[in-house]
Structure 1
């Protein structure tokens, strides 16, 4: 169900762009990985979803989620793949701003305080977006057991997670696309 080489090909065909870019981290780059081109594509989302379940097969967790809007399709895909495998799993989404009405929560979904959770991000550079999701889900009362990415750009994210005592895994690294990461 997970074909790593096919996922790499899809990134090359759909998501890897060259030029001058400013990343969410504020860093400048000569390439850009548009993770939404994969997570909003049927074959891409299927590969990512089954790949993440395989990557996390030895991790004890009850829910997976991350920052909305980037994590939204990934969470839905992983939940669907888990359902196909008869694996019970909940999802959650973390808002950038608390909802201004109702519960005024940052965290949405059936996840409960005390749950062991995995935080997902599509492309990890410094890990800033994932760390914001980590902070919000910790405030909510959950235990973050792992942070995962689809692609690790190898620009400090893993070190930032390690500094917080958070295990990190990624399906792919920038080196899988023939690009050498900068010295961090």
Structure 2
């Protein structure tokens, strides 16, 4: 796993000035699209994430946009179906928040790329629960260690990360 961490860092770690979704600024950034666009690295990430999928999950819920490639790769590794979760329900066509099948009464595992405060996951969890889904866990590639674990726990969602930011920059 140390080799994967090293390759993930080499492929996607950037330095400079960056603004996060939460509005916070940082000088270190992991460009998720750089590791998600590398098919071999993405497949290895999915293979390493697969054992972290808890038993009893009915479907993976990949969050728009960065969680989608990871959820697809993880779905192919685990055989679990997935749902494509939008930031908000589209106002046309099916008008659904989640595409790919029903969510009511389903036990969903949120799949995300990088988590800072957990805001995107919390937004999705609230909407999915309102649609009848049961969401108690989330899985991500990188936890930036900036409050996401605690914020999600306050809403009854456990976050499991493949790597913490401190592990990747060490």
Give the alignment's TM-score, normalised by structure 2: 0.93
The answer to whether 1:100 aligns with 2:124 is no
CA distance in 2, matches of 1:131, 1:139: 12
- For structure 2, the 5+ residue unaligned runs are none
- Tell me what 2:124 maps to: 133
Give the alignment's TM-score, normalised by structure 1: 0.86
The answer to whether 1:33 aligns with 2:54 is no
- Tell me what 1:86 maps to: none
CA distance in 1, matches of 2:39, 2:145: 27
Match of residue 66, structure 2, among 60, 70, 91: 70
Deviation at 1:169, TM superposition (A): 0.6
- Alpha-carbon displacement from aligned partner over 1:69-115 (angstroms, at most 9, x marks no partner): 111111110111123xxxxx110111123222222111111243101
CA contact (8 A) 2:103 2:128 kept: no
- Tell me what 1:145 maps to: 136
CA distance in 2, matches of 1:96, 1:10: 30
CA distance in 1, matches of 2:36, 2:16: 22
CA distance in 1, matches of 2:158, 2:50: 16
**Larger deviation, residues 152-161 vs 40-49:** 40-49
Aligned residues: 170
| RMSD, matched Cα | 1.4
- Tell me what 1:182 maps to: none
CA distance in 1, matches of 2:162, 2:7: 14
- Alpha-carbon displacement from aligned partner over 1:40-97 (angstroms, at most 9, x marks no partner): 21122112211221112x43211111321111111110111123xxxxx110111123
SS at match of 1:147: strand
